[in-house]
Amino acid sequence: MSLLIPKARGALERYGHQVVIGNDLHRRKQEVVFVTPAHEDWVRLPPDAGDMEIEQLIVDRLIEMHSAHIASSGAPR
Cβ atoms 35, 8 nearer than 8 A: yes
State how far the Cα of 28 lies from the Cα of 76, in Å rounded to an integer.
Answer: 36
Give the sheet arrangement for strand 40-44, strand by strand.
20-22, 31-35, 40-44
Predicted confidence at residue 76, as pLDDT, reads 64
Per 3-state DSSP, what percentage of the chain is helix, strand, and coil (rounded to 5)? 45, 15, 40
Taking only the tens place, the pLDDT of each residue in 36-58 is 999 999 999 999 999 999 999 99
Which positions of the chain have pLDDT values less than 50?
none
- pTM reported for the whole predicted model: 0.86
Task: Provide the residue ranges of all domains of the chain, joining segments of one domain with +.
Answer: 4-73
